[in-house]
Structure 1
Amino acid sequence: MARDAFEEIVEDFEFLEDWEDRYRHVIELGKAMEPLDEALKVPATKVEGCASQVWLHPKIAGGILEFDGDSDAMIVRGLIAVLRALYNGTPVGEVASIDAQAELARLGLHDHLSAQRSNGVRAMIERIRLVAAEAAA
């Protein structure tokens, strides 16, 4: 079910054997994202439950979910990039059927993220699912 962009990340992770290389790759994915416009960094787009500052800005067009995001922490920016690869381009009615935890487990992220970062990832996933559910209703 994962998007092609996410599958590319999975393939990259399989190639990178050392977790530090994988960690750097996640950071590079974040650096490659366009920064979120400062005007969009408002309470409505802020994700609560993250140790870092995190903003997700969803865009629904034609029933398809797309979102941009940003964070003040480079690793979290990278995690946003990973979630974008997983969810962007998905019809809103299909978002809930994506088992994000299982997909992210393919990357081994849970083994290498702090409890706070893992909670933040869950908070971002919950926000994405909520936005999609509201748009699908």
Structure 2
Amino acid sequence: MSSQANFIDRDSENLLLDVRGLKKYFPIRRGLFQRVVGHVKAVDGVNLFIREGETLGLVGESGCGKTTTGRTILHLLEPTAGSVMFKDPDMGWVDLAKMSRRELQPIRPHMQIIFQDPFMSLNPRMTVMRIVAEPLVINKVAEGEEL
């Protein structure tokens, strides 16, 4: 795939967040001197974008990397690789992955993670498919075979 195929004009697409190649690896340490013998690939090459006015929900099994992805995007965890381009209202496009904690302070109020308790939000009498499809059907975004 060419680099042009991966190019998105952030401004014409009204993007707010553009994440490319995001990785977060945790070292596996062993022995008396805690030598690194390998890595756990918690997040391995995530690409996503969010347009202004959109909300993104990460859904998956326990332990699949949802929280780590969110925390790495917000730079609460140091990314191993990738870029996290955020459109700050005052500073324009900034790469959160390359910013220090101090540089991130004025940007933090514009970002948040919302953790949802699945036991409070998921109806055990419905399949995951029905739960995910319900708002799409109600808002006439998708129906029938589109689901």
TM-score with structure 1 length normalisation? 0.28
Mark the structure with the bigger radius of gyration.
2
TM-score with structure 2 length normalisation? 0.26
Q: Which has the higher helix share?
A: 1
Q: Which has the higher strand share?
A: 2
Q: Which has the higher contact order (CA 8 A, sep 6+)?
A: 1
